[in-house]
Structure 1
């Protein structure tokens, strides 16, 4: 800690660098102009380099001051963000989901949530990264996997894993549904990061004769490509239930992949003390059951 610059000086420098004026910085900080100027001078003495050029109408960065301010401002922003995550905000619930789950299931269902819980500020963190309840400040998470997920977590089953092959009706218009394994073999395949086609083709005991196909980073993109008739996608049934019902997509073969990687809603044990989180959990479970 002895190697750190004076923190009051850093705070004064960060604010003065934003407005390039000691008086305006003092107004923002609620201190005198002289106090800000003195704290910045002490910081410059500690560092051994001038950070500002004092002008008649304000301040200008030195080259060292400009680059230093970028880093100092980023550090203060990180501190503000970390502090905001710790502060309890009544009615705010942050849920971590994958982009595909967000785009294909959660967002289409949100109008129902908003109508039932207008007082809850539901925030969605859509990321492929496994978010941390502590490090990222999330309240709930949807994960695909197999319990147990951790001693401090409660896991609620949302959806069983059931992966099916779907396409646009136009792609199979010349075939009778369900299509034969031989016809499936020759169709273009849409590949995503889960790479389930080898297992699915093995289930049908066929080889892939549909060419290289299109490779995409997310299942949601594969579903979108399927909707435009660009190939056959493998996707969990619940993610395309609306498209199947509206006949924008069709399941082209009755076979499906099942396994132990089901979809779970995770919550920490302490979240039970939060009524807003309880309401979101109850809504997610009720909606998933439908």
Structure 2
């Protein structure tokens, strides 16, 4: 059964009147007419089935029940105000939606360096993260594109070239020494922006008949399969540097594809300058800049 609570407007009218011992003063505080305050108090008395004030014309005095009830209500409302202000003053979490690869290989390892990392609420999307902020329950989306979108502020974050990666165990087992050795292995293909033909052309094998292999909807699935010694993927340098340093993957050869923009930060234009969102966006871009993978850095290097 639901709680049988008194009408809150009537409680406020009675408590304010009890503090001031004046209907008129309570009316001023509540921005009501004295008549409206009196009606609210009578409604509360009807709800409680007891009298809270004695009345003589414009003068009032507590009944014993009214005096005891007023003291308890004032304490309760003071506590309610205190708790409400504490919630309002507390930092609100930043809700972040991203791809699995970005979350696992780039963002999560760096989060401990962020001052308010404990206030980040991270979710990953199985496909391209939704940019419909009315329904995606996010404040910030890390998206696979930097194209302008009406109503959103989109800040380019990351660009990267690609090169083949392999597990140390598979490389040793298959004795991979030259680019042409990849043509006898299982290659993993990207559903979006696959670039194996570009890479083989840069390696001097233009027009090579590429071996069959599974196509994955995102680069994270392909990279995970490589870590399990199942084949070779064309990985984004910006995303796998730490994994290579850890020894779980090895880079193959010095040949790379041309750098391309891969990630951007999107948020509603109306909230783009909120302190927490702006701080998170600036931190992300500073981290990318420190690694030299901001799109403008790679563009300048190419010039």
Fold-level similarity (TM above 0.5): yes
Match of 1:138 in 2: 138
Task: Note if 1:185 corresponds to 2:186.
Answer: no
Structure 2 CA distance, aligned partners of 1:102 and 1:30? 46
Aligned to 1:121: 119
Q: The residue matched to 2:144 in structure 1 has which SS?
A: strand
Matched, 1:282 2:273: no
Matching of residues 234-273 of structure 1 within 5 Å? 234-258=234-258, 260-273=260-273
Instruction: State how far apart, in whole Å, the 2-side matches of 1:213 and 1:146 are.
Output: 29
DSSP 3-state at the match of 1:223: helix
Alignment-derived partner of residue 93 in structure 1: 94
**Aligned residues: CA RMSD:** 3.0
Per the alignment, residue 62 of structure 2 pairs with none
1:201·1:208 contact (CA, 8 Å) conserved in 2?
no
CA shift in 2, pair 1:101/1:282, >3 Å: same
Bigger Rg, which one: 2
Q: Which 10-residue stretch deviates more, 100-109 or 193-202?
A: 193-202
State the alpha-carbon separation in 2 of the partners of residues 88 and 133 from structure 1.
24
Deviation for aligned residue 1:107:
1.7
Q: 1:174 to 1:129 in 2, by over 3 A?
A: closer
State the shift of 1:249 in Å. 1.3
1:264 and 1:200, CA in 2 relative to 1: closer, same or farther beyond 3 A? same
Q: CA deviation at 1:96?
A: 1.8
Change (3 A) 1:206 1:245: farther
Q: Distance in 2 between matches of 1:242 and 1:142?
A: 20
Q: Is the Cα contact below 8 Å between 1:182 and 1:206 reproduced in 2?
A: no
Residues 92-121 of structure 1 deviation map (CA, whole Å, 9 limit, x = unaligned): 2112211221122112222222xx225x62
Q: 1:172, CA displacement in angstroms?
A: 2.4
In structure 1, distance between residues paired with 2:210 and 2:247: 26
Q: 1:273 to 1:160 in 2, by over 3 A?
A: closer
Q: Determine the C-alpha separation between the residues in 2 that align with 1:261 and 1:282.
A: 18
The Cα shift of 1:167 comes to 0.6
> What residue ranges of structure 1 are gaps of 5+ in the alignment?
1-23, 33-86
Partners of 1:30 and 1:219 in 2: CA distance: 55
| CA pair 152-226 structure 1, distance change in 2 beyond 3 A | same
- SS of 2:149's equivalent? coil
**Shift of residue 200 of structure 1?**
3.4
Q: Judging changes above 3 Å, is the alpha-carbon distance between structure 1 residues 182 and 88 closer, same or farther for their aligned structure 2 residues?
A: farther
Task: State the partner residue of 2:108.
Answer: 107
Aligned equivalents of 2:262 and 2:186: distance in 1? 27
Query: CA–CA distance in 2 between the matches of 1:215 and 1:265?
Result: 26
Following superposition, the deviation at residue 223 of structure 1 comes to 1.0
**What SS does the aligned partner of 1:287 have?**
helix
SS of the aligned residue for 1:258 comes to coil
Runs of at least 5 residues in structure 2 that lack an aligned partner in the other structure: 8-87, 291-303
Q: How many residues align?
A: 205
